[in-house]
Amino acid sequence: SLFIEWVTGAFNEITGYDPSYVGSMATLKDTHPDDLDRVRADVQRTLQNQPTVTEYRVFNNRTRNYVWLSISRRPVWDEQEQRVVRFYSVAKDITERKRAEDALRQSEARLRSLVETQTAFVVRTDMDGNYTYCNRPFLQRYGWVKADLIGTSYLATILPADHEKTRQTARACLSSVGEPVQVMLRKPRQDGGIDFTLWEFVALRDAEGSVSEIQCIGFDISEQVRAEEALQEERQLFIGGTTVVFKWRVASGWPVSYVSPNVCEQFGYDPRQFLEDGLLFQSLIHPDDVERVTAEIRDHVRQGRSQFEQEYRLRHGSGDYRWVYDFTTIVRDAEGTVKHFQGYVQDITERRQARDLLMEQNRLTLSLQREKELNATTQRVIATLAHDLRTPLAVIGSAKEILSRYFDQIDPEQRRERLETIGKQLQYVTELLNDLAQVTGASLNQRAPQLAPVNLVTLCQITVKDMQASVAAKHRLNFTTDGTLHTIIIDDVLVSRILINLLSNAVKYSDEGSEIRLELASREDRIVLRVIDQGIGIAPEDRARIFEPFYRVQGVGDIAGTGLGLSIVQDCVSLHGGTITVESAPGQGSIFTVELPLSRA
Ligand code: ADP
């Protein structure tokens, strides 16, 4: 064991040792665990009479940090005892040096990896973002965009999604001249892939001291980016689809002069079909879009623009049309004559479908809302009127009673009075019924079905969701579909009236907590909608009558209702050329099945 005999104040300072350690046994408890083996080995060598130097970390108990020490040990050999009896250690704090070395090593490693793996791209642009200089590596990599990039916009070599970012970086470096600003930019490759490049933009002053150029130095870091799994997902999000590169010449029908190899995977074409068989780009554009696309291109050329974006349908190799986003660059020669167009084309069919679905959802939600309100108003108006009819009818009833029973006992004057009462009340009833017809007639029965393509699944989903929201946690509403129906031709107003009324009955006539299910399926040429509940059920004698207006089953008096819901459903179903049936038994729940003719969009 080693005993500490003496230490200087400076040693205490560096290591945070307490001077009382002097005279005690030296321990390695404060030595960094990773350095223990080296320290032990070097101490052993010193004990064998060899001077040693060790660089290691010691925990400073005062600052609670590790400090790097360089300790050189000089042994003292005792001839008599034939052993090392003590050694002098001189320690130096080398923490600063170590830190600097580390930083250097790291930045060296980073730079070395970039420099070793590739050469830097160097480009300069003017204040309009046009290239004034491109070094050879840049031209070799991106010269495919245009053999001579000088004078063209730097945006032509950058993925459209990164254009705004590029402009921002240019603005940032112009606002602090001489300061480098970093940015990662994605560049389309000739094969349709994407390069990830890291750039440093610096605004440069010319001889007169004014800023006229931005110098950009960049590295291709695609390898590094691809290696970083964490970025994968983000990349997907950013790119949002693969770009296929098309170049077409200014000639009749737009002959394709170049197409990236991934055209096969994305659009199902063999690249040779374009280049050898002379497939024309114009012939791939949907007949309904070709005129618009051509006119737009003509306008952009006339306005002297160099880039523009458009959306249109492009024919897939299978014959289907796909919606595409096309970012086109107009390539001109030195005289300014348009030579060809270069489009970065992305399939956005799914994206558009998602967008359309959202719009359809919004439209159906609105129409459902209107129907719900109308349905409620209609029923309320009718309920009030039905109530108001009872009084005149009671008066008519009693007048008629008196007349028929006491006809001979009462005098002609009294008879005329009774008849007049009946006449007045009848008139009142007629007026009431006219009002009723006014209010409801137009909105209900006298409506011809208005057929249009509607996503029935969406309609069912939002109706169920809406109903669920209004009953909160009292019932569980579920929607299932066999997946055979999506966009079909129906009258969405009629169908939503059917659904609203059947679902709200299911809710009204079943216990809290029970399940209510809406099922959508197709059977041959029929749409089958089923509303299933586990409620109170309906007796056989009532089943035949519940579709009559105002018919309500005896004993449901305390559940609010007009007896009109199912007759409205019946009307809507008939208007739609369909049928409605019910399977039910008291206490066994009910299944209402609506079948409508199916015609696909
Ligand atoms: P309301 O519900 O306003 O009374 P409806 O025409 O919708 O009028 O229904 C008529 C009658 O049919 C209801 O009063 C009720 O007795 C019965 N009924 C309708 N749906 C159900 C159901 N899902 N379960 C049990 N009974 C029902």
The predicted-structure confidence for 204-222, as pLDDT tens digits, reads as follows 887 787 888 998 888 887 7
Residue 344 pLDDT greater than 90, yes or no = no
Q: Which two tokens stand for residue 512?
A: 């809290």
Say yes or no: CB of residue 535 within 6 Å of ligand 1: yes
CA of 555 from ligand 1 middle (Å) equals 11
Residue nearest to atom 3 of ligand 1 (CA): 561
pLDDT band at residue 104 under the 50/70/90 scheme: low
d(CA 575, CA 155): 58
Q: Could you report the per-residue pLDDT of 250-292, keeping only the tens digit for each?
A: 888 999 988 888 888 889 998 888 888 888 999 999 999 999 9
- pLDDT at residue 42 in the model: 92
d(CA 321, CA 349): 9
Say yes or no: CB of residue 533 within 6 Å of ligand 1: yes
Residue 446 pLDDT greater than 70, yes or no = no
Say yes or no: CB of residue 504 within 6 Å of ligand 1: no
Say yes or no: CB of residue 502 within 6 Å of ligand 1: no
**Ligand 1 atom at minimal distance to the Cα of residue 567:** 6
Say yes or no: CB of residue 552 within 6 Å of ligand 1: yes
**Ligand 1 atom at minimal distance to the Cα of residue 562:** 3
222 CB-near residues (< 8 Å, 6+ apart): 194, 195, 196, 197
Say yes or no: CB of residue 343 within 6 Å of ligand 1: no
Contacts 24+ apart (CB under 8 A), 302-306: 305/330, 306/152, 306/153, 306/156, 306/330, 306/332
Q: Which two tokens stand for residue 290?
A: 């070709």
Query: For 255, which DSSP code?
Result: B
**Ligand 1 atom at minimal distance to the Cα of residue 531:** 23
69 CB-near residues (< 8 Å, 6+ apart): 14, 15, 55, 56, 57, 58, 91, 92, 93, 94
- pLDDT at residue 436 in the model: 67
- pLDDT at residue 178 in the model: 78
d(CA 266, CA 519): 37
CA of 468 from ligand 1 middle (Å) equals 19
CA of 505 from ligand 1 middle (Å) equals 6
Q: Could you report the per-residue pLDDT of 560-588, keeping only the tens digit for each?
A: 777 888 988 998 899 899 999 999 999 99
**Mean pLDDT computed over 388-407:** 84
Residue nearest to atom 11 of ligand 1 (CA): 552
Residue 232 pLDDT greater than 70, yes or no = no
Task: Specify whether the CB–CB gap between 50 and 26 falls below 8 A.
Answer: no
Share of the chain above pLDDT 70, in %: 90
Say yes or no: CB of residue 546 within 6 Å of ligand 1: yes
Using CA atoms, how far residue 22 sits from 1, 9, 27, 367, 436, in Å, is 14, 12, 12, 89, 108
Task: Specify whether the CB–CB gap between 3 and 57 falls below 8 A.
Answer: no
Q: Could you report the per-residue pLDDT of 282-310, keeping only the tens digit for each?
A: 999 999 999 999 999 999 899 888 788 88
pLDDT band at residue 229 under the 50/70/90 scheme: very low
**Mean pLDDT computed over 369-396:** 76
Mean pLDDT of the chain: 83
How much of the chain is helix, strand and coil, in % rounded to 5? 45, 30, 30
**Mean pLDDT computed over 165-194:** 87
CA of 546 from ligand 1 middle (Å) equals 7
Taking the CA atoms of residue 542, residue 548, residue 551 and residue 554 in that order, the dihedral angle to the nearest 10 degrees is: 0
Q: Phi/psi of residue 474, each to 5°?
A: -65, -35
CA of 102 from ligand 1 middle (Å) equals 81
Say yes or no: CB of residue 506 within 6 Å of ligand 1: yes
d(CA 54, CA 68): 10
Residue 599 pLDDT greater than 90, yes or no = no
pTM tops 0.75: no
d(CA 432, CA 393): 12
Say yes or no: CB of residue 553 within 6 Å of ligand 1: yes
CA of 557 from ligand 1 middle (Å) equals 11
Query: Of 445, 430, 441, 428, nearest to 381 (Cα)?
Result: 441
- pLDDT at residue 235 in the model: 39
Which residue would you say has higher pLDDT here, 392 or 68?
68
Task: Specify whether the CB–CB gap between 364 and 459 falls below 8 A.
Answer: yes
CA of 561 from ligand 1 middle (Å) equals 8
Residue nearest to atom 8 of ligand 1 (CA): 563
Residue whose structure tokens are 């040990």: 73
Residue nearest to atom 23 of ligand 1 (CA): 506
Q: Quick count: other Cβ atoms within 10 Å of Cβ 54?
A: 21
Q: Could you give the angle at the alpha carbon of 219 between the alpha carbons of 215 and 225, nearest 5°?
A: 140
Residue 407 pLDDT greater than 90, yes or no = no
Residue nearest to atom 19 of ligand 1 (CA): 505
